[in-house]
Amino acid sequence: MDHAAAVSLAIGACVLFSLSAAVQQRASALAPGRSGGISGVEQLMLALVRSPLWVVGAVINAIGFGVQAVALHLGSVSVVQSVMPTQLLFALVFASIAARHWPTAYDWVSGAAICGGVILLVTDDHRGGTYADVGRVALFAGCVAVVICVLLLVAHRFPPPIAAATTAVAAGCSFATTSVLLKITADRAAADGFPGLLTLPAFYGLLCTCGLGIVLTQAALAAGPLPWAMAAMTITNPTVSYVAAVVAFGASAPTLWVAVSAGALLVTGIVGLARSRSADRWTPVQPEPPGTSPERFTARR
């Protein structure tokens, strides 16, 4: 496996995913159904698919997805996913450009703490992790499905920004499952070509989890601060992917000191972003009531 190429491609995918999220959040600023959870998501998606700006963001995301697929083919799930947290730092940049307000040092430290915590966790002596056990992959996917359902059921009990972060955690779970299925699918495609995918259950599961992740991501981006949503997905996606690597691919579990250190960094970063004075500037402006002149997406000052 070419680890250097896999890491480089994964960084490129991070930039593309963060840019896509920023573009799509701008497109969703005036869309209906912005509860932060799954309530009203049908209205939201119908409005977004008609938005040229949202389509541009979707194309950028698709390119990032392809770059990530190549990275996963060249490297293991745990190696590639360990790089993905850096998209939070790129999200801070893009959110700040939109808000015309550069992140504070406190914001950078909080973002870096989250990235450091996840990277520390998933890069801890991950022996193994190349070939999947089909039965364990199915068990993992079933457990993740239950977790996603629970998160979505409780999200509507919170105000939109918190509901958006909760929904982003569910999206991270979905994308983590997508990464696992993408690894299996990419390996089969490399060996047998596209016809071999038609008889591969993981390929159809990949389509389902990818679609679900996209919908949940849009619901989260439409109502909450971009760095909050990205932080939730940044923590959840690689961490759940690493759990999958341990459960389904036979990778080794993290040592105790790494788990404790990573947990401390993650808590520090989460608290820091949650208390950031920039949060209001990062949050999409609510649409004007009917009968008034709607404003385009603007930063809160």
pLDDT digits (tens, 9 = 90+) for 110-162: 888 988 888 787 666 655 556 666 778 888 888 999 999 999 888 878 877 78
In 10 A of CB 59, how many CB atoms? 12
Q: Which pLDDT value is given to residue 289? A: 47
Range from 195-199, 266-270, 271-275 that averages highest in pLDDT: 266-270
Whether the per-residue pLDDT at 292 is higher than 60: the answer is no
Q: pLDDT digit string (tens) for 55-77?
A: 999 899 889 988 988 888 887 76
Q: pLDDT digit string (tens) for 209-223?
A: 988 988 888 888 887
**pTM tops 0.85, yes or no:** no
Whether the per-residue pLDDT at 46 is higher than 60: the answer is yes
